[in-house]
Structure 1
Amino acid sequence: MIKLIIFDWNGTLFADTIAVMESNNQVLKALGCQPVNLRQYRATMKIPAIDFYGRWGADKQELLKNSKKYSKIFHHYYEPRAKKCRTRAGARELLIWFKKHSVESVILSNHTIPGINYQLKRLKIIHDISHVLANTVISNTISKRNKLERARVYLKKKKYKPSEILIIGDSAEEVEIGRKLGIITVAITHGWYSITRLKASQPDYLIANLKELIKIVKAVK
Structure 2
Amino acid sequence: MFTVLSQGTFMLRGDMTHIIWDWNGTLFHDIDAVIGATNELFQPYGLGPYDVDGFREVYTRPIWVAYERMLGRSLREGEWEVLDRGFHEHYHRLMEACQLAEGAVSSLRAWEESGRSQSLLSMWGHDRLVGKVGDFGISGHFLRVDGLRSASGGTKAEHMVAHLRALDLDPAKVVVIGDSVDDADAARHVGARAILYAGGMTRRSDLDLVGVPVVDSLAAALDLV
Which interval holds the TM-score relative to the shorter structure?
Answer: 0.7 to 0.9
> What are the superposed Cα offsets for residues 33-69 of structure 1, whole Å, 9 maximum, x if unpaired?
343221121122011211111001165443x514443
Letter in 2 for 1:25: N
Counterpart check, 1:141 vs 2:168: no
Asked if 1:153 corresponds to 2:195, the answer is no
Rate the CA distance shift 1:47–1:24 in 2: closer, same or farther, 3 A. same
Could you tell me how far apart the structure 2 residues matched to 1:118 and 1:182 are?
A: 30
Matched residue pairs, number?
A: 211
Judge conservation of contact 2:119–2:142 (CA < 8 Å) in 1.
yes
CA distance in 2, matches of 1:165, 1:195: 23
Structure having the higher helix fraction is: 1
Q: TM-score, normalised by structure 2?
A: 0.85
Equivalent position to 1:168, from 177, 201, 206 = 177
Q: 1:51 to 1:97 in 2, by over 3 A?
A: same
Q: Report deviation, 1:197.
A: 0.9
Give me the whole-angstrom Cα distance separating, in 2, the residues matched to 1:157 and 1:123. Answer: 24
CA distance in 2, matches of 1:26, 1:83: 16
Q: 1:50 to 1:32 in 2, by over 3 A?
A: farther
Please list the CA deviations of residues 148-198 of structure 1 after superposition, one character each: whole Å capped at 9, or x if unmatched: 112112323433223310001111111111222222110111211111111
Gaps of 5+ in 1: none
TM-score between the two structures when normalised by the length of structure 1: 0.87
Q: Report the counterpart of residue 4 of structure 1 in structure 2.
A: 18
Whether contact under 8 Å (2:28, 2:98) holds in the other structure is: yes
Residue aligned with 2:71, SS: coil
Q: What SS does structure 2 have at the residue aligned with 1:46?
A: coil
List alignment gaps of at least 5 residues for structure 2: 1-14
Matches of residues 20-169 of structure 1 in structure 2 within 5 Å?
A: 20-57=34-71, 60-62=74-76, 64-137=77-150, 140-142=151-153, 144-145=154-155, 147-169=156-178
Q: Residue 160 of structure 2 contacts residue 187 of structure 2 at CA under 8 Å; is this kept in 1?
A: no
- Paired residue secondary structure (2:145): strand
Deviations 1:82-112 (A, max 9, x none): 1221111111011111222232222222111
Taking every aligned residue pair, what percent have the same amino acid on both sides?
A: 21
2:187 is aligned with 1:187: no
Contact 1:9/1:107, CA 8 A, preserved across alignment: yes
Structure 1 residue identity aligned to 2:222: I
Contact 1:189 1:206 in 2 (8 A): yes
Write the distance in 2 (CA, Å) between the matches of 1:72 and 1:157.
29
Q: Tell me which amino acid in the other structure corresponds to 2:205.
A: T
Could you tell me which residue of structure 1 aligns to residue 223 of structure 2? 215
CA shift digits 1:7-55 (9 cap, x unpaired): 1111100000111111122222244534322112112201121111100
DSSP 3-state at the match of 1:211: helix
The code of the aligned residue for 2:194 comes to T
- Which amino acid in 2 is paired with 1:179? R
CA distance in 1: counterparts of 2:72 and 2:146, whole angstroms: 29
Rounded to whole Å, the distance in 2 between the matches of 1:29 and 1:59 is 17
Q: Once superposed, what is the RMSD of the aligned Cα atoms?
A: 1.9
User: How far apart, in 2, do the equivalents of 1:30 and 1:128 lie?
Assistant: 42
Partners of 2:141 and 2:112 in 1: CA distance = 7
User: What's 2:4 paired with?
Assistant: none
